[in-house]
């Protein structure tokens, strides 16, 4: 858990689980994380991991109904914590789902690499089935301190 | 997603311009199939220099096209991937079936 004292800023975002919202979701989260002064690489890592988690919820969470996705972002010094939550069917076997190339929809040309990409682009990834139903993915990204002084020194 | 292409000396050059995710995957696959199947060439080069974003959905799209073209004896190559696209390609071993060319 993040201690309240360390929180610099937070936001939440709720939207319909529609694929048209994917670019909106990743752009919004990465835009908010800009406050931590990340490098372009770190920012693209966040964008990609968010896109993976949101895509999972859009594709798998609501097979028979429309639903919503909630994103909570918490910024601490040098760290962004991003929760992607849906209220759908969850994942029966989480360990299996996290394996590379595992997909329940091979006929749809799906790579099954979503969790693998999240894990390799983030510093920490946690996945839970919510008690009340649905899935919660927690992505944690450490943002390296950009040494302004060092850059300034180099210029001088 | 905007897709431009030209056929030159039996090599088909295809350029993807835009974002490749779940939302654009179906259109991109369909459009690529149309272009690939209407062109006679033994080699296809997919230029990713103008691709603004890609997640693992893009891997599904590319592997799907590879499977279809493999049966016709056509090889596909990747050109100019972004740093992040390359990270995903290396993670998934895509270059083993679609080598990178410069």
CATH number, residue B36 = 3.30.750.24
Catalytic residue among A22, A72, A78, A110: A110
Rounded CA separation B46/B15 (Å): 6
A8-155 domain in CATH 3.30.70.20?
no
Q: Name every residue whose Cβ is closer than 8 Å to that of residue A150 and which is 6 or more positions away in sequence.
A: none
pLDDT at residue number A1: 59
Which residues 6+ apart lie within 8 Å of A25 measured at CB?
A: A13, A15, A50, A51, A54, A69, A71
Q: Is B60 on the interface with A (CB under 8 A)?
A: yes
Nearest residue, CB atoms, A48 vs list B55, B60, B92: B55
Query: Is residue A52 among the annotated active site residues?
Result: yes
For an interface test with B, which of A114, A117, A122 has the most B Cβ atoms less than 10 Å from its Cβ?
A: A117
A52 token code pair: 């993976």
Domain count, chain B: 1
- The pLDDT, as a whole number, for residue A153 is 57
Indicate the residue of B64, B87, B91 with minimum beta-carbon distance to A109. Answer: B64
Give the mean pLDDT of chain B.
95
Supply the pLDDT for residue B61. Answer: 96
- The pLDDT tens digits of the residues spanning B53-75 come to 999 999 999 999 999 999 899 99
Confidence (pLDDT) at B19: 97
Owning domain of residue B96: 2-101
B residues 23-52 lying closer than 8 A (beta carbon) to A: 23, 25, 29
pLDDT value at position A146?
Answer: 74
Contact B100, B77 (CB under 8 A): yes
Q: Are B18 and B51 within 8 A, CB to CB?
A: yes
Alpha helices (H) along A40-101: 40-56, 94-98
What is the spatial distance between Cα B65 and Cα B32, in angstroms, rounded to a whole number?
A: 8
Half-sphere exposure of B90 (CA within 13 A, CB side): 9
């Amino acid at each position: 858990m993040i201690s309240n004292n360390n929180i610099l800023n937070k936001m939440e975002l709720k939207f319909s689980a529609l694929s048209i919202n994917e670019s909106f979701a990743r752009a919004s989260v990465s835009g908010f994380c800009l406050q931590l002064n990340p490098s372009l690489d770190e920012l693209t890592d966040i964008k990609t991991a968010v896109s993976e988690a949101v895509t999972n919820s859009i594709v798998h969470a609501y097979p028979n109904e429309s639903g919503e996705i909630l994103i909570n972002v918490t910024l601490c010094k040098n760290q962004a914590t991003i929760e992607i939550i849906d209220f759908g069917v969850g994942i029966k076997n989480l360990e299996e789902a996290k394996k590379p190339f595992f997909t329940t929809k091979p006929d749809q040309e799906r790579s099954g690499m979503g969790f693998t990409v999240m894990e390799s682009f983030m510093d920490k990834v946690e996945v839970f089935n919510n008690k009340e139903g649905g899935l919660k993915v927690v992505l944690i990204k450490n943002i390296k301190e950009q040494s302004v002084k060092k850059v300034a020194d180099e210029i001088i | 997603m905007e897709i431009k292409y030209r056929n030159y000396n039996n090599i088909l050059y295809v350029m993807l311009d835009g974002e490749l995710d779940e939302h654009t995957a179906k259109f991109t696959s369909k459009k690529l199939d149309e272009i690939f199947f209407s062109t006679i060439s033994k080699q296809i080069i997919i230029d990713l220099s103008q691709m603004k974003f890609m997640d693992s959905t893009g891997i599904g799209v590319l592997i799907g096209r590879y499977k279809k073209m493999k049966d016709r004896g056509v090889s596909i190559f990747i050109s100019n991937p972004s740093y992040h696209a390359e990270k995903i390609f290396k993670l998934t071993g895509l270059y083993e079936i679609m080598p990178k060319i410069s």
